[in-house]
Amino acid sequence: MEPLHSPLHDRHLALGAKLAEFGGWSMPLEYAGGGVLAEHKAVREAVGLFDVSHLGKALVRGTGALEFLNACLTNDLQRIGPGRAQYTLCCDDDGGTVDDLIAYVRSDFEVFLIPNAANTAAVVAKLQAAAPDGLEVTNLHRQYAVLAVQGPLSDEVLQELGLPTDHDYMSFVDATIGGQEVTVCRTGYTGERGYELVVTSEGAEAVWDAVMAAGEAHGIRACGLGARDTLRTEMGYPLHGHELSATISPVMARAGWAVGWDKPSFWGKDALARQRAEKTVRTLRGLKAEGRGIPRPGMAVRTGDGAEVGEVTSGTFSPTLRTGIALALLDPGTPDGATLTVDVRGRQEPFTVVKPPFVDPSTKEA
């Protein structure tokens, strides 16, 4: 089956993007004139613009929408109010992760969801199957685009467009750009201060062009999913299919902070509570290279005597640290600071166990 195209596909072709299939979508991996390293650097030092329209969009609407979702998803939506967003997870009864997603609370009556591209249909179907009469769960995947403006100069870019920048982390405000309605949310996946702009698919090109024009004086770069991956790995952020999956629970991914343990119920609660209490499952840790080894997903992690104690879930060369880094599921009891080896193409390369993030975040700075 042919991959889906973003509403911004023509813009990517015009910028010489190298395209790759991701979650069923043809999306830019990197752009001509710089590539991943230049795009990564732009986000850490200036500002970058990402098209993340492959991300899913869904709307839960009707009386009791918030209460319904709170009984399904892991995090506690009662902790936030209208105008706030929350990271949460959708789990199966065995604790496996169907998806991780962002919930935008508009009211008790209406919640907008942004799941991952490949999992949108599964999340929507699971919610639709459980929804009571009178509650609508609608898949809006193709109706909206999402643009991420990320980096220390993202405020300056949005201010030139007359967009709000003074709202708190994980909150959103509705605004307009050139007549296009846009939801401006202080979220992102890079570890830098930034915003995600949700706009109709029809309005996506106009908003992209406006942001690129406003950012020109600030060194803005169009950034692809290659830089997005190196940036999120430096932050230790999980990616579904790597650090979260049907066999990797939020407890294993050390995402227990996004679980409302005191809630009376949510999907997978009993299984997750058992994992949390028993402490026998592998958990997500960071690995930093002591030498020149570049880890990749699926590589075995071993002790000095060759015993396998884990597996790399994500690995890359860190453009910021100029060394190899990895996220890995390791046996319980593996201490921070321990030296382990990663089987890099038959060579046992040394790595130190560390606690992510690998770089200092600025996401939540006022």
Q: Nearest Cα to 244, choosing from 72, 74, 121, 359?
A: 74
- Count the Cβ atoms, other than its own, within 10 Å of residue 76: 17
Q: Which 8-state DSSP code applies to residue 336?
A: T
State which amino acid sits at residue 152: P
Q: Indicate the Cα dihedral angle 98, 114, 266, 246, nearest 10°.
A: 10
Q: Nearest Cα to 146, choosing from 270, 24, 55?
A: 55
pTM for this prediction:
0.97
Is residue 222 within 8 A of residue 211, CB to CB? The reply is no
Q: Which structure tokens are listed for 305?
A: 């005597």
Helix (H) or strand (E) run with residue 67 in it: helix 65-70
Q: Nearest Cα to 314, choosing from 333, 296, 329, 287?
A: 296
List, in order of start, the domains of the chain with CATH numbers: 4-53+142-235 (3.30.1360.120), 58-127 (3.30.70.1400), 282-354 (2.40.30.110)
Tokens 């109709």 sit at which residue?
200
- Note down pLDDT in tens along the chain; length 366 residues: 899 999 999 999 999 999 999 999 999 999 999 999 999 999 999 999 999 999 999 999 999 999 999 999 999 999 999 999 999 999 999 999 999 999 999 999 999 999 999 999 999 999 999 999 999 999 999 999 999 999 999 999 999 999 999 999 999 999 999 899 999 999 999 999 999 999 999 999 999 999 999 999 999 999 999 999 999 999 999 999 999 999 999 999 999 999 999 999 999 999 999 999 999 999 999 999 999 999 999 999 999 899 999 999 999 999 999 999 999 999 999 999 999 999 999 899 999 999 999 998 777 776
Tokens 């060759």 sit at which residue?
306
